[in-house]
Structure 1
């Protein structure tokens, strides 16, 4: 049986365009993928970069209003610079308006930088940027060496971004505690440290799904398992550690009122075209875009392949793991690679994030993949 496909959208701003067009394109893509049989449409949260998905709850409301059956959600809300009540009230509002269709994805932010700062204060030097080992292929899936992000987390730009996103003097809260608070608020069991009951409306009893996202075999994977929540593993962000993250989640899993057994979604970055050569051309500027992130400058507007500069050898080395783990090619080429990822991770669902400079090319990519994968809406098309 074909497992479901879903979408993760960053609302990318294309070079020469603007954020307004990117947001309209996201709504248009959501309408199309709903018709093509995709299960979910998730939006990411990023700030001060060349993507337009900076306010997930607002964008989710627009996409939910423009569709009728698609599940819509965040992958993921960055808990490091918000509060549990703010998250529950925002997504409780969405769930009240679109019951049974909202996904609340939770992810760490700020905590990893705090850990990097503590290490720097102890005199520990971060590993040099770039891969730390050799690339291997496991059962048809490319597993690159781990990439140390400590240097990027300590960059002045990242520091400035996190500082602006938080109230003066605020510290990133403990992720586990925030997730516990969110679940307590949703379930009507929240108590302050002094024992005072607080109830949120809308939010309490909201008809939504809570997810935890993670990139490694660390606290996020273990927390998702311990709480019996569904888990999102980010192969498109951290391909070196995805398999370990899924294993850690399954090892920690305890049945809950939400799930009797583990449920895993694995992400992949994919660009599909009628043939391999066309797909490679459409994806040829991806490395430049990925380098803008890895170099600490933040994601630039997505370059046009027609005039994107070639990466230097040094620049390519910085993003080689992202390039070789992008799924690029004809429908059969990409579907075969995605199925290998599914088999290796045992994923229950695959979420596709694909960026092209042209909106029509992105629509075509998702449509071709839906047909090749055998999604019901296009199986006979």
Structure 2
């Protein structure tokens, strides 16, 4: 039997559309995903990104829960550096109170101190492109120029309170765990309870793009972990290995549970799929230049984009690791990804300018994956 297949949605804007249009498309896609048999439907958290409407996962998940019946819903991922543990627990506790037992609380480290991020980048070892048992592992992309940009500094000034320093990942997880178990009692007997939140039936996940702290912490705490092949394909095997090597059984997991993400686009045949995927490179280019994802361009707009060798190099790893083609072609590539990483689940994300093409991509893949 194939491993479960789930969806990650950014609520992307497209050229000529607006935020309301993007959110309506997300609600429609979530309903269709449930009908198609997908296991989970996760939404991202991105800020100051012109082409992405998914900035507040809990708010968006509440809307999705209202139009679906049973598909698991989750965040991929709440950025712990921009919120307190209490605010996260209260948001997802409210969701669980209204729609019990359906939510995954996916957490990420975005918002970590810039100084630490720059240190981690400086410590990265050079890595050449290679193929591992049929899976392309490209050269890593360096985010250093974007971290150092004035735009990043401006965005950061709005994302945290003046002088605030984000808690470490373990500290945030300790807070979330204590509040979910609640009440929290100090040494003098004082008591606080997250309402809503205490006792919520949430499945806590960590997401990560390398073999760093998120992967190791997920393993050490016995949590499920999602590794990002679609964001950082060069690091996916490192992330999977670090997670498994660190794993310690917990009350909820006796063995590691790994989900791996991938960019996909499916159409009736390979040629059609590649035509529909044409704008993807332009969209990735906007991300890699530090401007934030632009509204997804049309095929005609993408064809007019002027490419240089430098621009091609900037997006080469993401374009080469997008799985594009007929249902058979993409399913085979996903089977390779699952086999090489040992993933227990796969998380796919698809963007197309036309909503009908996007929905059709998910439908074709679901039928091919679990006929």
TM-score band, normalised by the shorter chain?
Answer: over 0.9
Deviations along 1:142-171, whole A, 9 cap, x unmatched?
Answer: 100122212211111111112111111112
Taking a change above 3 Å as real, the CA distance of residues 132 and 355 of structure 1, as seen in their structure-2 partners, is farther
Aligned to 1:336: 332
Once the two structures are superposed, what CA deviation does each residue of 1:48-107 show, in whole Å capped at 9, x if it has no partner?
111100111010000011000100110100011110000000000001111110110000
* Equivalence for 2:310: 314
Partner of 1:21: 21
Please report how far the alpha carbon of residue 191 of structure 1 lies from its aligned counterpart in structure 2 after TM superposition.
4.8
Match of 1:283 among 270, 273, 277: 277
Q: Taking structure 2 as the reference length, what is the TM-score of the superposition?
A: 0.95
Cα deviation per residue 1:328-359 (whole Å; 9 max; x = unaligned)?
11111100000000001111110100101110
2:365 aligned with 1:364: no
CA distance in 2, matches of 1:134, 1:221: 22
More off after superposition, 84-93 vs 156-165: 156-165
- The answer to whether the aligner puts 1:250 opposite 2:251 as a matched pair is no
Partner-residue secondary structure (3-state), 1:111: coil
Query: Contact between 2:206 and 2:223, CA under 8 Å: does it hold in 1?
Result: yes
Which structure 2 segments of 5+ residues have no match? Answer: none
Matched positions, count: 368
Q: What TM-score, normalized by structure 1, do the two folds share?
A: 0.93
Asked if 1 retains the 8 angstrom alpha-carbon contact of 2:113 and 2:166, the reply is: no
Per-residue CA distance 1:116-156 (angstroms, 9 max, x = gap): 46x5xxxx99699xx95432111111100122212211111
Instruction: Answer yes or no: is 1:240 the counterpart of 2:234.
Output: yes
- In the other structure, the counterpart of 1:88 is 89
Paired with 2:2 and 2:117, the residues of 1 have a C-alpha distance of 41
Q: Counterparts in 2 of 1:130-145, with a 5 A limit? A: 132-145=126-139
Residue number in structure 1 paired with 2:205: 211
Match of 1:174 among 154, 168, 184: 168
Aligned to 1:270, which of 256, 264, 270? 264
Secondary structure of the 2:203 match is: strand
Give a deviation string over 1:20-39, Cα, whole Å, max 9, x none: 00000000000001001001
Contact 1:143 1:239 in 2 (8 A): yes
How far residue 197 of structure 1 moved from its aligned partner, in angstroms, is: 3.1
Q: Distance in 2 between matches of 1:293 and 1:192?
A: 45
C-alpha separation between the residues in 1 aligned to 2:60 and 2:100?
17
CA contact (8 A) 1:267 1:351 kept: yes
Measured in 1, the distance between the counterparts of 2:187 and 2:55 equals 32
The question of whether the paired residues in 2 share the 8 Å contact of 1:132 and 1:147 is answered with no
1:41 equivalent in structure 2: 41
Listed as ranges, the matches of 1:34-73 within 5 Å are: 34-49=34-49, 50-73=51-74
Query: 1:116·1:154 contact (CA, 8 Å) conserved in 2?
Result: no
Whole-angstrom distance in 2 between the partners of 1:260 and 1:183: 18
Task: Check 1:28–1:145 CA distance in 2 against 1; reply closer, same or farther (3 A cut).
Answer: same
- The match for 1:9 is 9
- Distance in 2 between residues matched to 1:151 and 1:66, nearest whole Å: 41
1:310, CA displacement in angstroms?
4.0
Of 307, 317, 320, 1:324 maps to 320
Judging changes above 3 Å, is the alpha-carbon distance between structure 1 residues 112 and 5 closer, same or farther for their aligned structure 2 residues? farther
Please report how far the alpha carbon of residue 311 of structure 1 lies from its aligned counterpart in structure 2 after TM superposition.
2.5
CA-atom RMSD in angstroms: 1.9
Give the equivalent residue in structure 1 for 2:105: 104
Sort the Cα spacing of 1:57 and 1:162 in 2 relative to 1 into closer, same or farther, 3 A. same
SS in 1 for 2:300: coil
Alpha-carbon spacing, 1:324–1:7, altered in 2? closer, same or farther (3 Å): same
Unmatched runs of 5 consecutive residues or more in structure 1: none
Q: Is 2:8–2:42's contact at 8 Å kept on the other side of the alignment?
A: yes
